[in-house]
Amino acid sequence: MAVLKILVPLIVGLCAYYFYKSETFSPEKVRGKRVLVTGSSTGIGEQIAYEFARMGANIVVTARRENVLEKVVQKCLELGASSAGYVGADMSNLTSAQKVIEETKNKLGGLDYLVLNHVGGVSGLEKFRGNMEIVKSSITVNFLSYVQLTSSALHMLQESEGSIIVISSMAGRIGSPFITAYSAAKFALEGFFSGLRNEMRLRKINLAITVAVLGYIDTEHALQEVSNKMTLEPSSKEECAQKIVQGGVLRHREVIYPYWSQKIVLLLRDWMPDLVDYLVGKSYKVENIP
Ligand SMILES: NC(=O)c1ccc[n+]([C@@H]2O[C@H](COP(=O)([O-])OP(=O)(O)OC[C@H]3O[C@@H](n4cnc5c(N)ncnc54)[C@H](OP(=O)(O)O)[C@@H]3O)[C@@H](O)[C@H]2O)c1
Ligand SMILES: *[C@@H]1O[C@H](CO)[C@@H](O)[C@H](O)[C@H]1NC(C)=O
């Protein structure tokens, strides 16, 4: 295993560097900060809102279902949020996306954290049959609305020297079968936001951009969609949200969760693409995919 002789020291080195570099996380940094979390009626977004609530932030949650958002707001307040409110909106409409930022500004007076998390416009794992409507709706909901929200909020974020936390996926790093339209939108996000991060640095604008690269997480929606079509074990959405918020608050460029299983695949990706495709392919139960 010559590969291991290279990989093991490399990984140990990276780890040492990572721990050396990392500051300690203090929840106090978040008290009173102003946070908008999209796609926060359920799943990881809901847990991210609760994570910020426990640290005493001012929170606005948004998604389509207002009756569900009301309950999330209630729970945020119970957990210790300084304030909590919601805006109902459909991200397939870019004008609505723009309005979410206007309403957030009215409620909070500014913004420190923009958490872009919603996902929609795709119908789960299925074979690609050339349906352009699915591709268009995925690109609109999962990419264009993220860019619209960012562009509408950019002024507020520059003023506060705030952060954008973008929820991506392994499907945004490795082309993923049976979710091609989703994978395309996540790749686009990675391109746009890493480009924007670089641009901000060169323009000496202190705006942090954290991209979260997630594996399979046990949200209700993902379990329902994936459990009989893949062989993977899901990771916890609560811990996932915790890691995302910590990485975001520390202004890290990337959060990978779960870490090791994915970091290794990412390291192999450029050198051994065929091996990576083989490993990825093994986790699908192709016969169960419609
Ligand atoms: N779970 C996983 O295994 C996994 C893996 C990798 C990456 N991720 C990423 O993690 C993030 C969260 O995923 P999740 O599993 O927590 O998703 P989820 O449970 O399906 O939640 C999606 C959220 O987006 C909202 N939403 C859907 N369509 C919308 C639309 N058109 N306009 C506005 N809001 C909309 C939903 O609320 P309404 O229905 O009320 O609108 C809900 O709050 C996504 O970016 C996803 O790509 C998840
Ligand atoms: C998009 O949203 C705007 C503002 O919320 C609304 O006026 C418009 O009718 C919506 N467009 C569609 C196609 O639903």
Residue 219 is part of a domain; what is its CATH number?
3.40.50.720
Interatomic CA distance for residues 112 and 217, integer angstroms: 26
For residue 150, give the nearest of 159, 141, 140, 163 by alpha carbon. 163
- Domain span at 64: 32-288
Q: Which pLDDT score, from 0 to 100, does residue 85 have?
A: 98
Cβ burial, residue 74 (10 Å; 0-12/13-18/19+): exposed
Q: Which pLDDT score, from 0 to 100, does residue 122 have?
A: 87
Q: Report yes or no: 134 and 157 within 8 Å, Cβ to Cβ.
A: no
Tell me the helix, strand and coil percentages in the chain, rounded to 5: 55, 15, 30
Q: Which pLDDT score, from 0 to 100, does residue 13 have?
A: 76
Interatomic CA distance for residues 172 and 191, integer angstroms: 9
Q: Which pLDDT score, from 0 to 100, does residue 4 have?
A: 73
The answer to whether 259 is a known catalytic residue is no
Angle 211-172-26 from CA coordinates, rounded to 5°? 20
Residue 1 lies in a domain: no
121 CA to middle of ligand 1, Å? 10
Q: Which pLDDT score, from 0 to 100, does residue 8 have?
A: 80
96 CA to middle of ligand 2, Å? 6
Residue 227 lies in a domain: yes
Q: Which pLDDT score, from 0 to 100, does residue 123 have?
A: 83
Among 96, 99, 101, say which to mutate for ligand 2: greatest number of ligand atoms within 8 Å of CB: 96
Q: What is the pTM of this model?
A: 0.94
39 CA to middle of ligand 2, Å? 19
For ligand 1, atom 27, the nearest C-alpha belongs to 120
- How many structural domains does the chain have? 1
Residue 168 lies in a domain: yes
Interatomic CA distance for residues 39 and 46, integer angstroms: 7
Element (H, E) at 238: helix 237-249
**Which member of 182, 216, 257, 284 is catalytic?**
182
For ligand 1, atom 45, the nearest C-alpha belongs to 117
Q: Which pLDDT score, from 0 to 100, does residue 186 have?
A: 98
Among 118, 167, 210, say which to mutate for ligand 1: greatest number of ligand atoms within 8 Å of CB: 118
Residue 276 lies in a domain: yes
Locate tokens 């419609």: which residue? 290
Low-confidence ranges of the chain (pLDDT < 50): none
Residue 2 lies in a domain: no
**Is residue 105 within 6 Å of ligand 1 at its C-beta?**
no
116 CA to middle of ligand 1, Å? 10
Residue 5 lies in a domain: no
Interatomic CA distance for residues 132 and 2, integer angstroms: 45
